[in-house]
């Protein structure tokens, strides 16, 4: 059986793409929608993400290609993996891209007390916010902001935080650059622990909602958990939504336990963003920078994993947590990629 006839990449074999050959070194992720392998070409390691042509429950790989190829066109855009090539065999689609390190969720859980230092958490929050700003300015919503979708770079890029995995992404502007009108979604889209209130209300999401999820993620990075972390997202998603509403009022103190006082202002600013209003990312960054100044935190000190490389090794073998959920009466009606024609995916990109 040739490599093009294989149902999926085979460890120890090659995947050929025109005149290029990638040696399949190992599988590093097996999920409900896709698989990821480490592949090697000319001594350089890359990530190969694949999705089966037949039987896939969701089509997510084309969204990764669409989002990353658009952002990659701007060579100054930092913190997004570079796409090398994308293509397909009769049995699976694939995308070879820049290999990054462990995701922030695994990295945090690999640390003592499952939390980063406040200095690292605040510096990470600025980088992750910057990635969202870039994504939004390219016309995309993430709709699944969580630590598992951010990762540290490798080698000399270890201080750079990368954003990846855009399986729930959706454009918020049409082909003519016109903002989409607010509507109603049929599903609770994203990862329920971090989903915005709009998702719990089954409403269409906007840039504000990505920032709300970003704030929950950042709070968890600082304190180690969220007030609703112990609840089961599959059976108690309604209670999780009530917790998030409660956090706007008397539950605010519990939400921000262990966080700088400036975070209360960040939540206020996020909640005041209109559906089609561009968020004031600079204002949010200013609040974080004010907290760092007040707490005498340097923006140049190394991260924990730069000082102790064993943290990265431990994080690389940590179990996963926070798989994306879809909770609604129509769980199988997945609309994240409905606007794209699957046949248009068969492309070749060389950067």
pLDDT higher than 70, residue 86: yes
For the chain, the domains span 14-99, 104-326
Catalytic residues: 144
345 pLDDT band, cuts 50/70/90, is: very low
In words, the CATH class of domain 104-326 is mainly alpha
pLDDT higher than 90, residue 164: yes
**Residue 340 phi, psi dihedral angles, 5° rounding:** -115, 140
325 pLDDT band, cuts 50/70/90, is: very low
7 pLDDT band, cuts 50/70/90, is: confident
Place of tokens 């009769």: 90
Nearest to 145 by CA among 80, 191, 87, 181: 191
Mean pLDDT over 238-265 rounds to 96
CATH of segment(s) 14-99:
3.30.200.20
> What is the torsional sign of CA 235, 241, 247, 250?
negative
Residue 35 is predicted with a pLDDT of 93
For residue 189, the tally of other CB atoms under 10 A from its CB is 28
Residue 34 is predicted with a pLDDT of 87
């Amino acid at each position: 059986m040739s490599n093009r006839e294989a149902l999926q990449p085979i460890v120890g074999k090659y995947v050929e793409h025109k005149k290029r050959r990638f040696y399949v070194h190992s599988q590093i992720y097996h999920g409900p929608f896709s698989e990821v392998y480490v592949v090697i070409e000319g001594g350089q390691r890359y990530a190969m993400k694949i999705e089966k042509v037949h039987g896939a429950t969701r089509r997510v790989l084309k969204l990764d290609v669409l989002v990353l190829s658009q952002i990659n066109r701007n060579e100054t855009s930092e913190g997004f993996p570079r796409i090398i090539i994308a293509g397909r065999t009769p049995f699976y689609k694939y995308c070879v891209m820049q290999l990054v390190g462990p995701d922030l969720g695994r990295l945090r859980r690999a640390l003592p007390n499952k939390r980063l230092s406040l200095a690292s958490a605040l510096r990470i929050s600025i980088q992750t916010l910057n990635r969202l700003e870039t994504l939004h300015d390219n016309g995309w919503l993430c709709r699944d902001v969580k630590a598992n979708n951010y990762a540290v770079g490798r080698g000399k890029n270890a201080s750079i935080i990368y954003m990846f995995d855009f399986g729930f992404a959706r454009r918020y502007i049409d082909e003519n650059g016109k903002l989409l009108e607010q509507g109603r979604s049929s599903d609770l889209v994203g990862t329920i622990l971090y989903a915005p209130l709009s998702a719990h209300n089954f409403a269409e999401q906007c840039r504000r909602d990505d920032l709300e999820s970003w704030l929950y993620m950042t709070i968890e990075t600082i304190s180690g958990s969220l007030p609703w972390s112990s609840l089961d997202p599959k059976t108690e998603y309604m209670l999780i939504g009530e917790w998030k509403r409660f956090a706007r009022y008397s539950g605010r103190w519990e939400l921000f336990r262990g966080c700088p006082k400036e975070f209360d202002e960040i939540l206020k600013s996020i909640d005041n963003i209109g559906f089609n209003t561009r968020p004031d990312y600079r204002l949010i960054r200013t609040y974080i920078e004010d907290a760092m100044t007040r707490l005498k935190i340097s923006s140049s000190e190394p991260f924990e994993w730069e000082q102790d490389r064993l943290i990265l090794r431990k994080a690389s073998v940590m179990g996963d947590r926070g798989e994306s959920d879809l909770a609604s009466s129509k769980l199988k009606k997945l609309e994240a990629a409905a606007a794209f024609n699957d046949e248009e995916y068969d492309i070749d990109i060389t950067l």
